[in-house]
Chains A and B, each alone.
Chain A
């Protein structure tokens, strides 16, 4: 190699093409090809594998604000996807630094190989801070992530693809990531030196409606003493009631709550009207609000991170939470019967509701954490307390 060649730069192997036609260059990683989605950012500094496997990100391309992603590799324990058969929800990821070899005793695979195996496209070498600032200023853009090792791209086609993608608004994505069949769950939380456990005995019979549920939610329900049966997103009220549940859980999930709510809200409404204790998280929270007569709306940049402060009006305490949502419940739209219980201390947006006087409540954020702080695990106890009260009544 001659000296001049040694420093010759190759064309970019990956691109991020925004719907407005702007192009960001970088190095490709993971799978090759192209994918379209909404580009959001996540400010968490740990837990990239949990984020990349969270079905709620379906239809999205995640920009990690922390520059070093991949340090601890990947393992088989930190996966949040329940329905492994479904196509990966997330469309791709945007990184600042290139991926290093893993350095952690639990690592079993390099992140690059792992992304490739899951068919996920990544791009590194991007000024993710500038991209974050752009999202902050202009709102979440739609875009295409593309990786071709030879650096040959049909830019016009990519621009067209980005521009024509309709966006998440009005999109029902839960149907793509939900379980296809009903199944039981008995795995408990991860413990150091023990891994995951299983439970045999349970105090409560809970039905979880899966709109893209994370494993850690199911584990925390199990920890709290629930025997959980997971039902698909399109389950009807009859399907749910057939299990004669002590409580019903409404899961997180991707897409527009209004779209998924078109078929799920009626199920939820029927359950609530039966007086069954109900607990919702994220998309489940939004659809509970819809079922109770409220409205949801698309947010400017959404909340994605593990440092979001939430005020619990019922206790006066602040909890640091894990968040991941691009839609929110419009507080003003809530009917008289519903009270706001939690609010974001960042922007005052709604973070929790309760049906007044009823054992029905939900939160916008992720009390199951994984990744993120575990300050809000208490909500699972709140749910079981409701069920216990209902049972003894």
Chain B
């Protein structure tokens, strides 16, 4: 059956901003879908609010709407574009939910839009717990036993619900217990983060938790599930076509047993502990699930739990769409699930499609066979959210992941551990809390029984401490097979510690084949990694590269998608399949696992480098280890090495590539800090680096060197100082005066960066925050000497102090430079004041309040610095403007987070041009001219606070946002409103505004309040603000501050009586007083603005939005 000709245009919905649980894997799938369907000649209409995606590049769709993904706005797009079909399966839960809402609203019917890939009833059947359970019953598959206990509503005479009869709910829960059995998992409905729930192991606990759960749930409802703790967890990636051909792309087995969200689990592909009989039962079950749910075309995943004691299998859930795990499965096998799913959605069958990886030698209708092991390890950011427990549960908390490929599990595990970039070189030693306090066995047991981001290290440590594998299995539930593999690594480490490194090639190669990094071997033998590398070189022990070919070498693969391994020699020498070409080549180093501060924006830049340099005639070679990204798609670059970004791994790739052809150079400035950290080592190895020299990048980061440059150029900085010890820190703080901004040097995303407003905060920073940053080895060196430990760290990584410019305007500037000419691409004015991390603050391009003279001066200063730093490629500068003076806060002579935002706003491929400049072309040759923008773009950040109970939501210099959106319009108010809607803020059209401003902001907020009042909003305010607003003639009611007695503002927010909050504070006390209010607003989803500028912008946006001025326009139309 060939492709459908009855449809000609298709609307694809993206996933919106990067949030926990929905990351750049949907850019990967959406990009594949756009390319695949466009290739078929369909007109593609795309909507996605995330500007940092490759899919929103204007070349990828015919009409790209960078607009908020809400049903109302997508309805406007449908009305305008009249697509024939809607593909809802590429944009995660966001796209599915939006499509369902459009169906319910009747929009699809009204405009004759057909849902392809998954129909509305299919989505509902898969997503609705009860319907899914019924469907599984039909095909004879077990679900975990479960029940819902609900408390009936108590109503008043008017029929309004005034409460819930929780005693009835409790009785229902007790009745359900008989069916479900113990242990049981209790989850309160409609609460975030599982408050009030838990695991009950006995009847008494069940009663207690059931009661607390019913109390915690706003509607008195709890879900009771059979506990599958300790069961093995599996996932199957299935693809089905409309002729009912079904194939399994990949099976995945979780290292962590049930109880940890699969996104937070270490996972392995393929499944390793199933007999064929069990595997085939699971395969048949997966296919039966797709058929019963009714997924007609495309990819889905089905999750299973298996009791390791008896093989009992239950279905946990299924997703009728591509997902994070399908992206992982695609990268793990080489089978492009999203691309194929898109082609199936438009009518093809599997046997009509080719398998690209084998160059079309085989069809897509087969099941990949792999001859290696893939390990994925999630990356977390608990340290960014003080007060949150680093415990892993069924709610996902990780912000990124690393994937590694090895011939064996050991090799892939150790590669993944070092690829994670959290300071591990392998199964590093871990500190187990509570040792030596009497009951070591229990201390170890506690450290391995609770799943945490570092549990795997604790497990290895437990082995070192002599705990038996049986006991470790009993405490952790981790499958004995994995434990045995880890144990072999630990035993080998002992041998290396005792006997040093082998001095013969065979033994060293065998050691390396277990995945040990040079750095790990060095630390085991008290050497430098360079010594180990030298020994390897002397003995000629180097990795070989094998191809990922979907077919375990059964067919020759022309696709250069590769991973390294230390294989045994085969008839002489180890067999290497890299076959480097004789071309002129460029290596692009990617950004590694996503983390807060280094995400999709950097992957966007790396992809653009690959696209641009391919156009310029180079062979492009990508190195990265993040399975979610477009950069690790095998067709983004000419050659792809899926490898950890460490000095060892990268130098080996370069060594291999240099065996043939010419290495023109390596690009290190596009992948964020990850490749930059490797730059010095590459320079030492005489590897050519393209663009700005690493020395200049270092100059910009080095406080002393940079200060000298600024003085030479006559530019200003906030007063500052460097402290190499705690004592020096106090002295400098005294000299500069408070408030101050403090941060350790060489950090990413403002880690441990704080604004210090009083002495107490300074103390707690120096003696509370800093000790957390001390690495374990330093701690071990100076036990019981906290200050000594800190000073040791500060000796090489000093503290940087800056005078905090209260109330200053912050500006981001991105520029291109070839060392001769400079082009300022974008000047972005932050909406929040200086002091909030630039990644966390909203900003406007072009600026909304700066004078023409100020803008010219910013350009002049930017140009001067770019030339002085001999920038080749991109540069980003952050400025603060206060009292008409410009201060340079920071210069980054490399790609920054704002590059994709700027590129999309000004309509120029900034990252591509930068790449070609780096490769040697002149800036002038691109003929860039400054055009006056006739539109405004607003960038807004999105935050994961809701996933971290108890964490304060106030913004500061430490970055905590996971992603961003863009609002685009001809004028600022609607652009801002769009940015707010897109970042999931419920922009109110009516209701009550609560205003509480510090004195200096009171005058500034008057106009905003007047506009809102005129637009029909009611204003309430705390006493001082209320008085001031009344004086200005604005009708306004008083409401109590929290400390003034009840009912107070938090009560009002919790009761749903407030729809918008403007609140600025002064001083540490006021800040902490307002914390409960911020938390309440977050939970009630009430928009909350903590700066004057943000409040004013919000008021303008809301008024314009309410007036009905929101229109949708494709990106392409802004650049005629």
Q: Which chain A residues have a beta carbon within 8 Å of chain B's beta carbons?
A: 3-4, 6-9, 22-26, 41, 43-47, 49-50, 65-68, 71-72, 75, 77-78, 96-97, 100-101, 103-106, 125-133, 136, 190, 192-193, 301, 305-309, 311, 316-318, 320, 345-346, 369-374
0/1 string, B485-519, CB within 8 A of A gives 1: 10000000001001111111011000000000000
Cβ B555 vs Cβ A24 within 8 A: no
The interface residues of chain B lying within 8 Å CB-to-CB of A26 are 568
Cβ A372 vs Cβ B366 within 8 A: no
Cβ B280 vs Cβ A374 within 8 A: yes
If A78-B276, A371-B276 touch, whether A105 touches B363 (CB-CB below 8 Å) is: no
B311: which of A65, A106, A127 is its contact (CB, 8 Å)? A106
> Interface stretch among B23-31, B266-274, B457-465, B747-755?
B266-274
Alpha-carbon distance A317/B245, docked complex (angstroms) = 7
Query: Which B residues from 358 to 382 make CB contacts under 8 A with A?
Result: 362-363, 365-373
Query: Which B residues from 287 to 320 make CB contacts under 8 A with A?
Result: 308-313
B243: which of A22, A106, A301, A316 is its contact (CB, 8 Å)? A316
23 contacts between A and B (CB under 8 A): A7-B499, A7-B502, A7-B504, A24-B570, A25-B569, A43-B552, A47-B275, A47-B279, A65-B369, A66-B371, A66-B552, A67-B407, A68-B373, A97-B408, A100-B485, A103-B273, A103-B479, A129-B371, A136-B555, A306-B367, A316-B243, A318-B350, A345-B366
Alpha-carbon distance A259/B749, docked complex (angstroms) = 73
Cβ A43 vs Cβ B502 within 8 A: no
Q: Name the residue on A nearest B247 (C-beta).
A: A320
B760 at the interface (CB under 8 A from A): no
Main SS class of interface, A: loop
Cβ B281 vs Cβ A192 within 8 A: yes
Most buried by B among A4, A7, A104, A193: A7
If A72-B275, A106-B275, A192-B313 touch, whether A309 touches B366 (CB-CB below 8 Å) is: yes
Query: Which B residues from 755 to 808 make CB contacts under 8 A with A?
Result: none
Q: Name the residue on B nearest A370 (C-beta).
A: B276
Main SS class of interface, B: loop
Cβ B276 vs Cβ A125 within 8 A: no
The interface residues of chain A lying within 8 Å CB-to-CB of B939 are none
Alpha-carbon distance A130/B575, docked complex (angstroms) = 6
B554 at the interface (CB under 8 A from A): yes
If A46-B275, A67-B373, A136-B555 touch, whether A309 touches B308 (CB-CB below 8 Å) is: no
Shortest distance in angstroms between B228's beta carbon and chain A's nearest beta carbon?
Answer: 16
**Supplied contacts A101-B481, A130-B570, 17 more A-B pairs, CB within 8 Å:** A6-B495, A7-B499, A7-B502, A47-B275, A50-B276, A68-B272, A103-B484, A105-B308, A105-B310, A106-B311, A126-B570, A129-B371, A193-B311, A309-B363, A309-B366, A318-B243, A371-B280
Most buried by A among B280, B309, B312, B506: B280
B553 at the interface (CB under 8 A from A): yes
Alpha-carbon distance A308/B362, docked complex (angstroms) = 10
The interface residues of chain B lying within 8 Å CB-to-CB of A8 are 504, 507
The interface residues of chain B lying within 8 Å CB-to-CB of A7 are 499, 501-504, 507
Alpha-carbon distance A154/B370, docked complex (angstroms) = 36
Interface size class of B (residues with CB under 8 A): 35 or more
Shortest distance in angstroms between A64's beta carbon and chain B's nearest beta carbon?
Answer: 9
B480: which of A22, A25, A97, A101 is its contact (CB, 8 Å)? A101
Shortest distance in angstroms between B979's beta carbon and chain A's nearest beta carbon?
Answer: 47
Alpha-carbon distance A131/B568, docked complex (angstroms) = 12
Shortest distance in angstroms between A241's beta carbon and chain B's nearest beta carbon?
Answer: 37
The interface residues of chain A lying within 8 Å CB-to-CB of B270 are 45, 66
Q: Name the residue on B nearest A137 (C-beta).
A: B556
Cβ A133 vs Cβ B280 within 8 A: no
Shortest distance in angstroms between A14's beta carbon and chain B's nearest beta carbon?
Answer: 12
B567 at the interface (CB under 8 A from A): yes
Cβ B367 vs Cβ A136 within 8 A: no
The interface residues of chain B lying within 8 Å CB-to-CB of A374 are 280, 283-284
A9: which of B308, B507, B571 is its contact (CB, 8 Å)? B507
Q: Name the residue on B nearest A102 (C-beta).
A: B481
Most buried by A among B281, B308, B363, B552: B552
The interface residues of chain B lying within 8 Å CB-to-CB of A66 are 270, 369-371, 552
The interface residues of chain A lying within 8 Å CB-to-CB of B553 are 41, 65, 129, 132-133, 136
If A9-B507, A68-B408, A129-B546 touch, whether A320 touches B480 (CB-CB below 8 Å) is: no
Cβ A43 vs Cβ B507 within 8 A: no
Cβ A369 vs Cβ B280 within 8 A: yes
Cβ B575 vs Cβ A133 within 8 A: yes
If A47-B276, A317-B245 touch, whether A4 touches B365 (CB-CB below 8 Å) is: no
The interface residues of chain B lying within 8 Å CB-to-CB of A106 are 275, 311
The interface residues of chain A lying within 8 Å CB-to-CB of B485 are 100
The interface residues of chain A lying within 8 Å CB-to-CB of B622 are none
Cβ B556 vs Cβ A136 within 8 A: yes
Q: Which chain B residues have a beta carbon within 8 Å of chain A's beta carbons?
A: 243-245, 247, 270-281, 283-284, 308-313, 349-351, 362-363, 365-373, 407-409, 479-481, 484-485, 495, 498-504, 506-507, 546, 551-556, 567-571, 574-575, 577
Cβ A100 vs Cβ B556 within 8 A: no
Most buried by B among A47, A193, A370: A47
Q: Name the residue on A nearest B546 (C-beta).
A: A129
Alpha-carbon distance A292/B954, docked complex (angstroms) = 82
Alpha-carbon distance A22/B575, docked complex (angstroms) = 15
The interface residues of chain A lying within 8 Å CB-to-CB of B271 are 46
Cβ A72 vs Cβ B371 within 8 A: no
The interface residues of chain A lying within 8 Å CB-to-CB of B311 are 105-106, 192-193
Cβ B280 vs Cβ A372 within 8 A: yes
The interface residues of chain B lying within 8 Å CB-to-CB of A306 are 367, 369
Cβ B365 vs Cβ A96 within 8 A: no
Most buried by B among A26, A130, A308, A346: A130
The interface residues of chain B lying within 8 Å CB-to-CB of A78 are 275-277
Q: Name the residue on A nearest B551 (C-beta).
A: A43
A305: which of B277, B363, B554, B575 is its contact (CB, 8 Å)? B554
Cβ A129 vs Cβ B575 within 8 A: yes
The interface residues of chain A lying within 8 Å CB-to-CB of B552 are 41, 43, 65-66, 129, 132, 305
If A96-B407, A307-B366 touch, whether A372 touches B276 (CB-CB below 8 Å) is: yes
Alpha-carbon distance A225/B630, docked complex (angstroms) = 53
Alpha-carbon distance A101/B567, docked complex (angstroms) = 22
If A132-B554, A317-B244 touch, whether A309 touches B351 (CB-CB below 8 Å) is: yes
Q: Name the residue on B nearest A320 (C-beta).
A: B367
The interface residues of chain A lying within 8 Å CB-to-CB of B244 are 317
If A130-B567, A136-B556, A369-B280 touch, whether A104 touches B370 (CB-CB below 8 Å) is: no
If A131-B570, A309-B365 touch, whether A104 touches B245 (CB-CB below 8 Å) is: no
Cβ A22 vs Cβ B571 within 8 A: yes
Cβ B274 vs Cβ A72 within 8 A: yes
Cβ B570 vs Cβ A373 within 8 A: no
The interface residues of chain A lying within 8 Å CB-to-CB of B310 are 105, 193
The interface residues of chain A lying within 8 Å CB-to-CB of B546 are 129
If A66-B371, A67-B371, A126-B568 touch, whether A46 touches B481 (CB-CB below 8 Å) is: no
Q: Name the residue on A nearest B567 (C-beta).
A: A127
If A7-B503, A65-B553, A129-B575 touch, whether A46 touches B276 (CB-CB below 8 Å) is: yes
B500: which of A3, A136, A307 is its contact (CB, 8 Å)? A3
Alpha-carbon distance A346/B243, docked complex (angstroms) = 19
Cβ A6 vs Cβ B506 within 8 A: no
Shortest distance in angstroms between B621's beta carbon and chain A's nearest beta carbon?
Answer: 22
Alpha-carbon distance A89/B270, docked complex (angstroms) = 29
Alpha-carbon distance A320/B350, docked complex (angstroms) = 12
The interface residues of chain B lying within 8 Å CB-to-CB of A65 are 369, 371, 552-554
Alpha-carbon distance A283/B865, docked complex (angstroms) = 78
Shortest distance in angstroms between A186's beta carbon and chain B's nearest beta carbon?
Answer: 20
The interface residues of chain B lying within 8 Å CB-to-CB of A369 are 280
Alpha-carbon distance A75/B277, docked complex (angstroms) = 12
Shortest distance in angstroms between B374's beta carbon and chain A's nearest beta carbon?
Answer: 12
Alpha-carbon distance A305/B270, docked complex (angstroms) = 16
The interface residues of chain B lying within 8 Å CB-to-CB of A301 are 554
The interface residues of chain B lying within 8 Å CB-to-CB of A103 are 273, 479-481, 484
